[in-house]
Amino acid sequence: MSIFAALDVYHDIAPRSAAMNMAIDEALLESARVPSVRFYRWQSPALSFGYFGRFADVADYADERDLVRRWTGGGIVFHGEDLTYSIVIPANDPVFAESSTFIYEKIHCALVAALSGMGKCAIVAGGVDPGSVAVAMRTAVSASGYRCFANPVRADVMLNHRKVAGAAQRRTRAGLLQQGSIQGVALGNGLAERFAQALSANCSERRINQEIFNRARELAQCKYGTESWLRKR
């Protein structure tokens, strides 16, 4: 069963800097009126780490990867060969009233359905007890140097006993942002399209408008691209 009654889909195929990718996600969260999913790429090998992470745990990668601190939580994620996505749920949508745990699981159930359509026998890890995802995430981010794909938590997506998809969230008055990464599976065969269709039977293709780009550039310059944000902890 679809999660969303309607869904805007952004295939943002232009490779972007790590700071700009994070900034566009936040700009979409600020402006969204209906749920949306954005699929995006990186202009160079990148590394994102959670809001509560320590810069010291990623500093050694600074010479080889484009580093950025996410606004969402979670651990260290390497980007470049993955399919990265963000889902925005505005506060006026009924799904926003659900728990973060429920949303995390349902989005990953949709991803499992998409992978199943490609002949992949993926599963959602564990069943989800109330609060278990949040507890696991808090435990994970407290571990020094935590790497998301080496440490699956409940409701992550598993394939052949390996984690292939994880995500992190941020909830504000405007809505909920979930940023996720899919790794270690063939990304062809229309995976992004299948995922979007599993999220909603009523998908509309959209392009990011100039207003969102302008706001994102501002956020990239004043926030995500700054040393003060990167070294916040």
Catalytic residue numbers, as ranges? 148
β-bridge partners, 88: 36, 177
Closest CA to 48 of 63, 61, 29, 30: 61
User: Which residues, at least 6 apart from 77, have a Cβ–Cβ distance to it below 8 Å?
Assistant: 47, 48, 49, 147, 148, 149, 166, 181
For residues 216 and 225, give the distance between their C-alpha atoms in angstroms, rounded to a whole number.
Answer: 11
Gyration radius of the chain over CA positions = 16
**11: exposed, middle or buried (C-beta count within 10 Å: 0-12, 13-18, 19+)?**
middle
| Residue indicated by tokens 């990186």 | 42
Task: Determine phi and psi for 71, rounding to 5 degrees.
Answer: -85, -25
User: Which residues, at least 6 apart from 164, have a Cβ–Cβ distance to it below 8 Å?
Assistant: 122, 157, 158, 182, 183, 184, 185
Task: Determine phi and psi for 111, rounding to 5 degrees.
Answer: -65, -40
185 touches 159 (CB < 8 A): yes
